[in-house]
Amino acid sequence: MSTEAVADIALIGLAVMGQNIILNMNDHGFVVCAYNRTTEKVDKFLANEAKGTNIVGAKSLEEMVAKLKKPRRVMMLVKAGSAVDSFIEQLVPLLEKGDIIIDGGNSEYTDSQRRCKTLSDKGFLFVGCGVSGGEEGARYGPSLMPGGCAGAWPHVKDIFQAISAKVGSDPCCDWVGSDGAGHYVKMVHNGIEYGDMQLICEAYDLMKNGLGLSNDEMSKVFADWNKGELDSFLIEISSEIMAFKDKDGGPLVEKIRDAAGQKGTGKWTAISALDKGMPVTLIGESVFARCLSSLKDERTAASKVFPAPSVDLSKYKSNTKEYIEQIRQALYASKIISYAQGFMLLKEAAKTYNWELNYGSIALMWRGGCIIRSRFLGNIKEAFDKNPSLQNLLMDDFFKNAILSCQVSWRKVIGMAAEIGVPTPAFSCALAFFDGYRSERLPANLIQAQRDYFGAHTYELLSNPGTFIHTNWTGRGGDVSASTYSA
């Protein structure tokens, strides 16, 4: 068989995402070599979806490598975990120094950090690339978040930016940072997605069980919201989901079992936040809300023991227009808190791992193509463009004013939720964070006193920060203090 180096890039893994990325690359004039461990998949793909394109196939990794122009670019879209390591192991002996290995799967950033180091030591260029946007995004423009060995970027930039989603003419793809930065940013994206989804669910719950709106009415509300500040993919699909009818003519969504699944990226974000001591409370609450939802049987039993408070809902139901607007504002304010928290986490991770993250460019990567795409991310980009070293999103004028104008409604909605017994963990924790963040004094002085009282952990005086002292609180204790620690 004659093997000519014809392909610009190879792609391993012909599940839907892989096939769609290949077709997308082909659309943009790149020659792609397709490979799958089950080689019949390659034949099937070439004979069907890829028919009439410039896509070529390979039946072995050797053949695939031989068909690649140099430096060779090999992208994997395979199941995260051991499959990635196994392909890397098989590829290394076939490739040369300077060749590029790209992992476009949903890998943990710590794995990308490890792979980047191992492959750099051998002279290869590793890229861990977050890909978001689902099947549709992969086909017509995903959000791409590549990180790893910076030397790889000039060799993949043209392909990645060509196939990515665009906002105007700006690609939703830029170099994120070294080693695991791309997959870390993708992880935080997914965490924020958990938060956005939970916020929309709480608005839905309040409109349904507080205001008594029908699904068609709620569909209309979401459609209206989608014309303003909340304009986003998730609000848009929520409107369509509300309106979607089952065969019997009733709304399908009401027949779906209320037990949420999860694959782990929200949890990883929350774990990373805990590790780094960052109060990313809204994502954390959103993960826990899914956990609570999945205890369906326990909840069903408890619902018989603890019925909802009996509240006269007529004041809400007779004034739905006003309350819908309040709920919208509560959602918007909470969403701002969630993104502020997400960027706080990114900042801390950048410090820990020495990444030079460009927060404006991350906002742009999320602006289009991905699941959290929204008008709002354009405002975030503007905030970081105006001030790249912005300490916190909340301190930007645009967001400061937005929070101030929503604040009253936000508080009222949480009051209403508490009164009628509709759970709003994300709305509520966002407000609690906001009230904590804007407090010069918190009651943590008492925590310090308690810690010193029972454990001699020492404390600082407001008048003398940095100096830790211990007090003989009881007249019984010794003056030996425990070593200080911060957690």
Ligand X SMILES: *[C@@H]1O[C@H](CO)[C@@H](O)[C@H](O)[C@H]1NC(C)=O
Active site residue ranges = 186, 193
Q: Which of 475, 485, 486, 487 binds ligand X (CB under 6 A)?
A: 475
Smaller CB separation from ligand X, 84 or 230: 84
Nearer to ligand X by C-beta: 104 or 266?
A: 104
Among positions 11, 13, 50, 370, the unique one binding ligand X when judged by CB under 6 A: 13
Binding-site positions for NADP(+): 13-18, 36-38, 78-80, 106
Which residue bears the tokens 């070439």? 46
Q: How far is the CB of 38 from ligand X (least distance, A)?
A: 5
Check binding of 36 to ligand X (CB under 6 A): yes
Annotated binding site for substrate: 106, 132-134, 189-190, 194, 263, 290, 451, 457
| Number of alpha carbons in the 13 Å side-chain half-sphere of residue 89 | 5
CB nearer to ligand X: give 26 or 471: 471
The least distance separating ligand X from the CB of residue 335, rounded to whole angstroms, comes to 35
Report the helix count and the strand count for the chain, using DSSP H and E.
20, 11
Residue 91 C-beta: closest distance to ligand X, Å? 12
Backbone angles phi, psi at 301, to 5 degrees: -65, -45
Check whether the bond before 71 is cis (ω within 30° of 0): yes
Which residues touch 485 (CB under 8 Å, ≥6 apart)? 457
Sign, Cα dihedral of 106, 112, 114, 116:
positive
* Smallest separation, CB 20 to ligand X (Å): 12
The CA-based angle 480-483-484, given to 5 degrees, is 125
Size of the site for ligand X (CB under 6 A): 13
Is the sign of the CA dihedral 155, 128, 67, 34 positive or negative? negative
Using the minimum distance from each CB to ligand X, give the nearer residue, 111 or 196: 111
One of 10, 11, 14, 144 touching ligand X (CB under 6 A): 14
Task: Name residues contacting ligand X, limited to 56-95 (CB under 6 A).
Answer: 78
Q: What is the DSSP string of 364-394?
A: HHHHSSSTT-BSHHHHHHHHHHH-TT-S-GG
50, 57, 91, 319 from 63: Cα distances, Å: 19, 9, 12, 69
> Is residue 32 part of the contact set for ligand X (CB under 6 A)?
no
Task: Work out whether 37 is an interface residue with ligand X (CB under 6 A).
Answer: yes
Taking CB under 6 A as the rule, does residue 38 contact ligand X? yes
Q: Which stretch binds ligand X (CB under 6 A): 171-179, 234-242, 396-404, 472-480?
A: 472-480
- Determine the Cα–Cα distance for residues 469 and 461; give it in Å rounded to an integer: 8
- Does residue 277 belong to the site contacting ligand X (CB under 6 A)? no
- For ligand X, the binding residues (CB under 6 A) are 12-15, 36-38, 41, 78, 472, 475, 478-479
